[in-house]
Structure 1
């Protein structure tokens, strides 16, 4: 029987952490029942061969610990920018790297791939959205089981995807809209101007724009910034401007019970926060776990 909420964190799938075996083991030790990985460094295109990742062993561990592979998530590299309307080389590079990531996800068997939608740089926002649509249409032929989750962004610099209306427009223009959904990042939404304390109203906005059925994953993060700051600085759960109660409400919302929630909160003095945060969230009680470290 599946355990709710479906809650986990970003974990390493690097060679040092024994690839996917380490990712599963670390998550189980944190009392998580999902996780998110990068298949290589998020800031560059360097990638170890996918054959190294101990995929078969991961699948055996998932069975052992009753984890559903359909709840697992991969995050695409940050340097992909398929919204760039002014630099064709950058756009083409992003397309090729995204195709590689899709193929790696298909090989692992993880079906949710989170993607930062990109930025318009020296172009215009409307041009960027059209390039994003073009790019998503192009890579869709490489998607068999994998669905791309466009992440909501904070509005830092020239980012697109800062509001749900933009993302809804993009999805409405796709040739294969069933292959694309949304990742709701709570820190980014706060920093973009969404008041998450009015969660019921936010849910109505989700329904009226992208549609609740398009939500594939949450990034559950507190924020260091006030609403509308457009800065994107994650904070530990309960220590930021969103606060524990609001994030806990979102986590336990039964309308999104089947959607995995991933923590991307910062380490506290080089100590992983995830076991403590998961414990507080599962127990619905904020214990101020990092009081002595903050």
Structure 2
């Protein structure tokens, strides 16, 4: 069964997100752990969490994905910004302990002129501070498009972060289709080759989730502008291959396309229709 959802607003709580997801044909969802462009976070509502935990069992929601705020930059030049990244991630993971067995995704950050090697060192340093042996949340490094001084623009950079983390069993990768395409990985003409490269570099066992986004830009543009499924330069045929690929089809897929709920509902139905065709050739 295809596990697919989209990004939902967390303003009304987890149970509401679960209900919204099922209403549009989804069986998972992503949400921001806190204000995506700030630091504010809602107080935990334990009654809402318990109601959601029951709801997800009844409606076969296997996993959900919390997305860290965009303001989280563990490899900033500024010490206070780096410390905020630690404080926010530490708090987010404590809160996610009430929702065991799920994922927490973050953009690795921008080294702002320090160099990728130093950026990688600082990101790994944050993870070594924040990861705990007992945690049940898997932290996902997101593949990036390579804008400016972003770290995570190549599979090699993700590998180098993971290799410097002691509790690496708690780490995985979220592959964003728009990001890697804009970053220069040709998933349109050589999906198998890209996945083989990922496997050789990071390991497919590290791949835990997929952000499904078409791109407004051409391959290698390093611009990161998401488009609706089938309306960008990646195209419908590639998404059919992605959701049916034997190395990917059991993973959860999360839409981050420029849509409202009705638009997400249509995309989910479209992608579900592709699963009847198992060929990815």
Pair 1:44–1:82, CA change in 2 (3 A): same
**Structure 2 residue matching 1:9: 3-state secondary structure:** strand
- Give, in whole Å, the separation in 2 of the partners of 1:78 and 1:185: 15
Match of 2:209 in 1: 217
Does the Cα contact within 8 Å between 2:209 and 2:252 map onto a contact in 1?
yes
- Contact 2:242/2:249 (<8 A) preserved: no
Give the aligned length.
274
C-alpha displacement of 1:40? 2.5
Cα separation, 2, equivalents of 1:178 and 1:110:
13
CA displacement, residues 183-202 of structure 1 (integer Å, 9 cap, x when unaligned):
00000001111111211101
The aligned runs of 1:83-232 (5 Å cut-off) are 83-84=75-76, 86-109=77-100, 111-141=102-132, 144-197=135-188, 198-232=190-224
Q: Which runs of 4+ in 1 moved over 4 A?
A: none
Unaligned residue ranges in structure 1 (runs of 5+): 286-294
Which position in structure 2 is the counterpart of 1:281? 271
SS of the aligned residue for 1:183 comes to strand
Q: Tell me the TM-score normalised to structure 1 length.
A: 0.89
- Give 1:289's aligned residue: none
Structure 1 pair 77–142 and aligned structure 2 pair: CA distance change class (3 A): farther
Q: Do the aligned partners of 2:75 and 2:110 also contact (CA within 8 Å) in 1?
A: yes
SS at match of 1:81: coil
SS of the residue 1:182 aligns to: strand
**TM-score under structure 2 normalisation?**
0.93
1:256 to partner: Cα distance: 2.2
Q: Does 1:41 align with 2:35?
A: yes
